[in-house]
Amino acid sequence: MSQNLFADMRAHVVEALSDLLPVLTPEQLARVEVTPTRDPAHGDMATNAAMVAAKPAGRNPKELAQALAERLAALPLLSAAEPAGPGFVNLRLSPQALLDQIPVILTAGEAYGDGDAGAGVAVNVEYVSANPTGPMHIGHCRGAVVGDALAAVMAKAGFAVTREYYVNDAGGQVQALAWASYWRYLEALGSPITPEEFDAAAPSGLQYRGEYLIPVGQALRAALGPILATPDLGIADPATWFETVRDLALDMMLTEIRTDLELLGVRQDVFSSERKLLDSGAADVAIATLAADGLIYEGVLDPPKGKTPDDWEPRPQTLFRSTDFGDDVDRPLRKSDGSNTYFANDIAYHADKIARGSAILIDVLGADHGGYVSRMKAAVKAVSHGAVTLEVVLCQIVHVMRGGEAVRMSKRAGTFVTLRDLLDEVGRDAVRFTMLMRKSDAQMEFDLDQAVAQTRENPVFYVQYAHARCRSVLRAAAESLGATETTPEALAGADCAALDDPQELALIRRLIAWPRLIEGAAMAREPHRVAFYLYDLAGEFHMLWNKGRDDSTLRFLQADDAAGTRARLALVAATATVIRSGLMVMGVTPVEEMR
């Protein structure tokens, strides 16, 4: 028996359906599904097999469901198979089939739920990719957690995952960073130039004056002294200092970002530099490749929506035929001055990821990039000749709240909540779990009070508490029965026949849903499903715990019932195993005890 009972049952359903209707094609059989029932009163699973097969086979779906149910009812896995509705078949697992999964879980350990749905397909998940021009803030935090958890879910489901950070170390924002860092350098030297005088002399677009740049200026002063300034500590020719200041500032900001990511428990396998990519001429190569395929032309775009003839200047541009690939308008690759657009640079970057062997590209982006999705999907389809797909996961804004009021708690940044501040306030586990308690494309409120509360309303506490309770039971059992009797290997051999209470069976049903949950979350690119599942699993365990307080026969440790004790310890150990497996995917600590 495999870990995934839903996959096993689907194989049985397909076999039975093929016997009944040999005329069905593999494509038609591929549409067969076995899913949980919406109402547990109707059974554990349901299949659409009769409805899928009825039309191509020319059969009545209700009659076909009846015939299919009669065949499936003979399976040892099932205690019942009944036709329902317009052609579904409801399936109820036998109690023994449920109990047989406990040793499967204990034998697999935290690897329970590992699957092969991904079939080793190479996936590149790019996330965070914050401009290295300042501290990471809470908006970056959500994308970091979602991307990291998605990568973990897909790896567990059998995909070959590469986690990537694209360092935007080129363009106007980096120039602004260099100039702002140079101002902090002059400030560290004690320059008499005022901020207003500096602004008047510097190019427009200076955006960064946060206190986080003070250390950059001080580092420049410590390393180089006054040599980057004029003798009177004024502004020197940018040609003499720009690259030095830019490179040091970028290096310090990236060090800060890497530290923040480490504190958050987020890791990436690859850090790609935009500047290195562009310096290699990759954007020009990408444009030339599209041109060779006949996908580039010189043209004039229609005015954007909302523009009037008075404020629109039509001009010839180098355009990509993105409408050939589903976009709503062709997109410029070069500006009228001959320089490449940001879009052209992004095409080059995605072409680079494709060249490195990725079959699926997933970009985790802020919701403000929503308008960029269609053109990038078109570009990826074009440069890969349809062989590679781009998927985009959008993360909506996060509002930090305390006592029902919005919070601005950053000392260094001043205008936004930094990731470091949030981690200092509530800790990594609460940040990660809370970020995954809403679907990424839904706006969310991060309630600081709730994130530290020791109540059911705090999901990370509720789940960690369930794991801690499991571990507490197992420690107590080890003291009374001996450590060798309470190992997963020993408990995997327990006779679980004593587990017949409805709440015990409900908990087992929740446990066996984990492999299917992982597969579904991976295929739908929805890591928040893991958080929801763990919260529900914790609820089932807490209910059994509380029921045992009222009914002594359900208590986990019973001096006069050795067999029942071993059975219940096996269930507790299996529950702890699945919670750990889920928390590891989420990057959250499975604590041993609550303080």
User: Residue 60 in 3-state DSSP?
Assistant: coil
pLDDT value of position 208 = 61
pLDDT value of position 251 = 95
Region class of 335: left (phi > 0), else alpha (psi between -120 and 50), else beta: beta
Sign of CA dihedral 208, 211, 214, 215: negative
DSSP 471-508: HHHHHHHHHHH-GGGSSHHHHTT---TT--SHHHHHHH
Contact (CB, 8 A) for 446 and 434: yes
- By C-alpha distance, which of 223, 222, 215 is closest to 256? 215
Distance CA(327)–CA(301), nearest Å, equals 14
Indicate the length of the chain as a whole number.
Answer: 595
Q: Which two three-digit tokens encode residue 34?
A: 């076995």
Interstrand relation of 45-47 and 88-93 (parallel, antiparallel or unpaired): antiparallel
Instruction: Give 503-532 pLDDT, tens digit per residue.
Output: 999 999 999 999 999 999 999 999 999 999
Q: Which amino acid is at 425?
A: E
Contact (CB, 8 A) for 44 and 77: no
pLDDT value of position 308 = 60
CB atoms within 10 A of CB 357: 11
Region class of 109: left (phi > 0), else alpha (psi between -120 and 50), else beta: left
Q: Which two three-digit tokens encode residue 369?
A: 């990039």
Phi, psi of 301, rounded to the nearest 5 degrees: -80, 150
The alpha-helical segments, DSSP class H, found in 297-404 are 342-355, 373-383
pLDDT value of position 206 = 60
DSSP 94-154: -HHHHHTHHHHHHHHGGGTT---TTTT-EEEEE-----TTS--BHHHHHHHHHHHHHHHHH
Whose tokens are 């775009």? That residue is 301
Q: What is the pTM of this model?
A: 0.93
DSSP 347-373: HHHHHHHHHTT-SEEEEEEEGGGGGGH
Instruction: Give 21-79 pLDDT, tens digit per residue.
Output: 999 999 999 999 999 998 889 999 999 999 999 999 999 999 999 999 999 999 999 99
Residues 6 or more apart in contact with residue 434 via CB below 8 angstroms: 446, 450, 451, 459, 460
In this prediction, the residues of the chain whose per-residue pLDDT falls under 70 are: 1, 205-209, 306-313, 408-416
Element (H, E) at 287: helix 282-292
| Structural domains in the chain, sorted by start | 5-93 (3.30.1360.70), 101-113+456-586 (1.10.730.10), 122-167+267-395 (3.40.50.620), 172-264 (no CATH)
- By C-alpha distance, which of 470, 412, 511 is closest to 213? 412
Q: Which two three-digit tokens encode residue 126?
A: 């790019």
Element (H, E) at 459: helix 459-481
pLDDT value of position 409 = 52
